[in-house]
A and B are shown apart, each in its own frame.
Chain A
């Protein structure tokens, strides 16, 4: 994974017309482009200067919204919904399966930096619970086999393996 460059970050802000009203969108894009699902301090400082927004306000946003992280995470963030409709359809078993297959506990990142495992609130796919959100995709009705397939698909860079498992809108 390539390091994000100052030029790329400037370009992201430019694509939003350097508009401070678009701060959340800019920060989401910076995080996505980081490869490690993080908004690094140096990019916050840069955004503060270019958009004319106090750095404290940027950190207010980064620490308020659950989707942001100021610490590097895995390339793929796996989030298991723990809200009650999923929780009582055995979401905790899914957490257990991911822990087993990845070899890390919830909150931790695998040694190779590929995955971080989290719990999250409802992602709006309760009809196919228990669910995991990985990046922009949601995977539902999970079983141990599906969990193994998903991890393999991301680890080996074989998106076709998971295509059929993506929950459609």
Chain B
């Protein structure tokens, strides 16, 4: 039996993305209709029962986040959707934004209703310019049908959604940087605390959630938190959109129930990844984005759930699964990862701005036979510790994650080029 699901992606590719009638035809807006008959507390109770963990990468429990915001008295409150999707190897939010935007719009509207917000913002990466235009069209159409705008569904509730464009900066996916950028400023991260739930957009209480998280809300309201939980893992309900890329034979987005599919199935099942292109062997896989962990074939039987992956030293992150075959050198791969972080570092703090450059310099040495010595390896370890502990935001804190995890699986390959004579001379 197929393990693929379509809880969040139901209808994607089958309906005209901007047609409200077609969306309603596949059961769309039933979640909102039900939600407006409930109290805010009741909706949040379902989100808590569902154990929805944030799909943007940090896996923060959405129910707790919503409850926290509900108890903050200041108004107005804002709803912000993170559609920056900048993690290389991640293209699942694009599936919803491009093919099922009304599902996201419905989810944001439910959030707007729960928090009594007047305005929501969808911050979309600048590279998705065509999708932005379509999203604006879908919002306009929802307004015409009274699913947005004034007196929504005759419930005396007014809510509008604005689309904001990024302009090419990965760090803007970090939630505080995202808010700065939404305000028309440079997207450098803010210091926390204060928590964004208290001091967020325009210094007002704000909810920031990922596209996939918000698009799970209609199903949670409609099915109830318990049923949603049952679909996934006891610690984290529902499904996850995974993105297979690299040397996977069947690259693409697949929706799987959390905890019920192993990494091996995700990568090798003929309905999902279908194995490695050209019949080659798997060397490693990189989960959750460039900031995620690298795993080895020995870990393939780990179930794909937040809990199981964490226990194995891996993580779900954004849902990216970058598959690399035996032809790829681990040091060369990590040079690519580090180049990305050098380019995307905002430069605000030294451990990240300088640390990534120094990491790259050492990796460069490690890729040339005899160029590195034992001292370089020790420095590499120190850099990883410093960057992880002392960087200002998540970008610098996780930039060395790939290196740190790859080290465990491929120690011999790292050490292969280290000069023994240089080591002896240094001693």
Contact = CB atoms under 8 A, between A and B. Distances in A.
Contacts of B339: 82
Interface residues of B, number: 56
Interface in B127-151: 127-131, 134
B394 interface: no
Interface string B320-343: 001010001000010011011001
- Which bracket fits the contact residues of A? 35 or more
A85 B322 contact: yes
Contact of B87 (A25, A122, A128, A136): A122
Contact of B246 (A82, A89, A123): A89
A68 B324 CA distance: 33
Nearest to A81: B88
Contacts of A136: 129-130
Interface stretch (B44-52, B167-175, B222-230): B167-175
Contacts of B337: 84
Interface string B293-333: 00000000000000000000000000000101000100001
B88 A126 contact: yes
A122 B184 contact: no
**Of listed B88, B89, B181, B247, residue having the most chain A CB within 10 A:** B88
A45 to B, nearest CB: 18
Contacts, number: 130
A128 B89 CA distance: 11
A23 B126 CA distance: 14
A158 interface: no
Given A66-B168, A68-B167, A21 B246 contact: no
B367 interface: no
Contact of B126 (A21, A65, A125, A127): A65
Interface in A92-145: 120-129, 133, 136-137
Contact of A64 (B99, B187, B333): B187
A20 interface: yes
A126 B168 CA distance: 17
Given A66-B169, A67-B167, A136-B129, A83 B88 contact: yes
Contacts of A67: 126-127, 167-168
Contacts of B346: 64
A60 interface: yes
B187 A28 contact: no
Interface string A54-84: 0001001100111110000000000000111
Given A85-B246, A122-B89, A126-B251, A21 B167 contact: no
B184 A23 contact: yes
B127 A124 contact: yes
A121 to B, nearest CB: 6
A87 interface: yes
Contacts of A21: 183-184
Interface of A: 20-25, 27-28, 57, 60-61, 64-68, 82-85, 87-89, 120-129, 133, 136-137, 168-169
22 contacts: A20-B184, A24-B184, A27-B167, A28-B126, A64-B187, A67-B126, A67-B168, A83-B88, A84-B336, A88-B247, A88-B328, A89-B246, A89-B247, A122-B86, A122-B90, A124-B86, A126-B91, A126-B251, A129-B245, A169-B98, A169-B99, A169-B131
Which 5 pairs from chain A and chain B are nearest by CB?
Answer: A169-B98, A66-B168, A83-B88, A65-B167, A122-B88
